[in-house]
Amino acid sequence: MQYRKITVSASGVYDIIISSGLLENAADYIQSITKAKKIAIITDDNVDALYGEKLLRCLTDKGFNAVKFVFPHGEASKCEGTLFRIYSFLCENHITRSDCLIALGGGVVGDITGFAAATFLRGLDYIQIPTSLLAQVDSSVGGKTAIDIPEGKNLVGAFKQPRLVLCDTSTLSTLPEKFLIDGMGEVVKYGMIKSAPLFEILENRTIDDIMDIADDIIEQCVSIKRDVVEADEFDKGERMLLNFGHTLAHSIEQYYNYTGITHGMAVAAGMRIITEIAEKHDMAKSGLAKRLVKCMDNYSLNTKIEPTAQQLAQACLNDKKRESDNISIIICSDIGKSSAVKMAVDNFLKLLSE
């Protein structure tokens, strides 16, 4: 089988394999990286209906003792209640530290399974099998794991690198268009922060064109992420660039109760607003926001939102990039050129309300 492979060397070294049809051969890849006898697949009801039994069978056929935990799909499940149900399931199935978890699904499944792996028995291995575009280009790589709490998204979490990431690009064909658009928000982000060539591809394509070259696009995004994570695994500097548009996006998602808007759509709105602010204050090339919005239009990334600046500002106060009275805001001065700008929270709120 032909595949693309990217190796990440962080606190753990692991491969990201990208190819269509990987799920069928998942057990072979998994066998090559673990001595685990038992594997617990964690997934949601949507993904389970499509791929749960297939993966379970493929693992048991190879001699693994595989079990499966399924929870309701959606961001609302990325919470303490689901996490504790996962812990109970792992206990009931006598999962030990030498066993392994698999996150089969999108960003919610990956984040909560990674956090369970980071904390259950003080840590055990996990593998990411991302099935959404957003998870394949971004969240399955780099070891950020978390759950949401009522006060905000991803406020409780840990860094825990997976042992392997298997990106089966054929799973994208079963994704509703809304979720392809969601993933495109992160793809555009990678072009904006680090890669003018990637952005130029995106500027001249439609979503169907991108799906035809999905393996290549995912490889480009993941390669950028690999470089960033290797330089700054624990998010003290360079890695913050991956949060371009995200400070506002998290506030927007909170405003919509994590249900009325997708993450990618919120990131698109966040990237537009921050780029307009940067342009207005001569921190970005003139015309950049317009070029960004035009590119995002190709993917139906609508950036109009309901909340007022005041409403967004309140939620921004819990941002993880806040240090005491300062906050790091990611600015793109041009396509592919990004930096973190530290400013007083009050100044940021003032810029926002202008």
Contacting positions for ligand GLY (CB under 6 A): 138-139, 142, 144, 239, 242-243
- Residue placing its CB nearer to ligand GLY in the complex, 125 or 138: 138
How far is Cα 254 from Cα 150, in angstroms, rounded to an integer? 9
**Residue 61: CB minimum distance to ligand GLY, A:** 34
Strand bridging mode 322-323 / 152-159: unpaired
**Residue 185: CB minimum distance to ligand GLY, A:** 12
Q: Which residue is nearest to ligand GLY (CB)?
A: 242
**Residue 138: CB minimum distance to ligand GLY, A:** 5
Lookup: tokens for 338: 């990004």
**Residue 243: CB minimum distance to ligand GLY, A:** 6
- Residue placing its CB nearer to ligand GLY in the complex, 52 or 110: 110
- Residue placing its CB nearer to ligand GLY in the complex, 243 or 251: 243
* Nearest to 283, CA basis, from 339, 326, 240, 336: 339
Q: Is residue 336 exposed (0-12), middle (13-18) or buried (19+ Cβ within 10 Å)?
A: middle
> Degrees (nearest 5) of the Cα angle 229, 212, 272?
55
Consecutive H or E run containing 14: strand 13-19
Q: Is residue 335 exposed (0-12), middle (13-18) or buried (19+ Cβ within 10 Å)?
A: buried
**Residue 232: CB minimum distance to ligand GLY, A:** 9
How far is Cα 278 from Cα 70, in angstroms, rounded to an integer? 43
**Residue 104: CB minimum distance to ligand GLY, A:** 19
- Residue placing its CB nearer to ligand GLY in the complex, 78 or 144: 144
- Residue placing its CB nearer to ligand GLY in the complex, 66 or 330: 330
How far is Cα 110 from Cα 120, in angstroms, rounded to an integer? 15
How far is Cα 332 from Cα 283, in angstroms, rounded to an integer? 8
**Residue 6: CB minimum distance to ligand GLY, A:** 15
